[in-house]
């Protein structure tokens, strides 16, 4: 894809707190993260690296001007791609679990030791990928007012179901400990403002107006506050203004990312 590609005019680098994180990881390292500062799938892996204090080299990629070094490792040219001991790995949830397993001495542990809880964690990570993220995109990419309420309701229902499965006290999904379930959804939770900006509001009820779901939304707010204030999350986010043009293209259903194209034709996100 050349410079005339409609999505190519991206801000070229991370800003805000994320820029400082990039700078701290610019030196040569055997572990390389091929990244796009704006990409929520990248942010999952980036949060995991920061949480566990793993040393890595951050390499910024404009996905519409893919460097040959990335294509040599991942023919699809998608980010995040991790280069580990000269070998490629990709798929964000796979990468998060890989980092947990490949660096066992790095803490915190982001998957529970208990086999049942570990399996349950994977169930709800899958729910984020198969239900919440597609519904987020269907809502954001929907055009016109007809059917928008249904798309909003579908998305909120998935958030309610997810929240209903959280540990009652929290603040995180599994309880006091931050885990890969939280990381799986955190980037999209930090991008919920797009619905206020582009789609007339997210639709989560105000405090005291949640009706039968008041406690669910109270629990969601507690979770969201804890995740938004997490150091690793804040330090992998750029300034909001630079996300606006990117998410504006999604909101007008003009984006040409693989995720956007999949939603447009009714396929699952790749």
Q: Which positions ≥6 away from 108 have C-beta within 8 Å? A: 51, 52, 177, 178
CA 255 to CA 107: how far, in whole Å? 38
Query: Which uninterrupted H or E stretch holds 17?
Result: helix 16-24
Query: Which uninterrupted H or E stretch holds 83?
Result: strand 81-84
User: Scanning the structure block, which residue is given the tokens 């309420």?
Assistant: 149
Among residues 263, 139, 154, 150, the alpha carbon closest in space to that of 197 is found at 139
Could you count the other beta carbons within 10 Å of the beta carbon of residue 4? 8
CB 175 within 8 A of CB 169: yes
Q: Give catalytic status of residue 39 as yes or no.
A: yes
Catalytic residue among 14, 33, 39, 237: 39
User: Scanning the structure block, which residue is given the tokens 């403002």?
Assistant: 193
Q: Would you name the residues annotated as active-site residues?
A: 39
């Amino acid at each position: 894809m050349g410079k005339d590609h409609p999505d190519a005019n991206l801000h070229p680098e991370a800003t805000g707190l994320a820029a400082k994180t990039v700078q701290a990881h610019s030196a040569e390292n055997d572990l390389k993260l091929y990244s796009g500062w704006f990409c929520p799938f990248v942010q999952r892996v980036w949060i995991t690296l920061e949480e566990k204090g793993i040393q890595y080299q951050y390499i910024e990629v404009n996905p519409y001007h893919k460097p040959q070094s990335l294509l040599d490792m991942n023919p699809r040219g998608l980010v995040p791609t991790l280069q580990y001991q000269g070998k490629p790995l990709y798929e964000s949830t796979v990468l998060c679990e890989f980092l947990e397993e490949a660096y066992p001495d790095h803490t915190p542990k982001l998957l529970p030791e208990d086999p049942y809880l570990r399996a349950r964690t994977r169930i709800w990570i899958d729910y984020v990928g198969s239900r919440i993220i597609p519904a987020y995109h269907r809502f954001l990419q929907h055009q016109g007012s007809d059917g928008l309420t249904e798309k909003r309701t579908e998305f909120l229902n998935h958030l309610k179901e997810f929240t209903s499965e959280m540990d009652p006290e929290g603040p995180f999904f599994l309880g006091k400990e931050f885990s890969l379930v939280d990381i799986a959804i955190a980037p999209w939770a930090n991008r919920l403002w797009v619905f206020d900006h582009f789609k007339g509001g997210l639709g989560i009820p105000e405090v005291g107006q949640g009706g039968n779901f008041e406690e669910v939304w109270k629990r969601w707010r507690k979770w969201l506050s804890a995740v938004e204030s997490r150091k690793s999350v804040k330090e992998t986010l750029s300034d909001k203004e630079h996300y606006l043009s990117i998410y504006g293209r999604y909101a007008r259903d003009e984006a040409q990312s693989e995720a956007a194209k999949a939603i447009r034709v009714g396929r699952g996100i790749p």
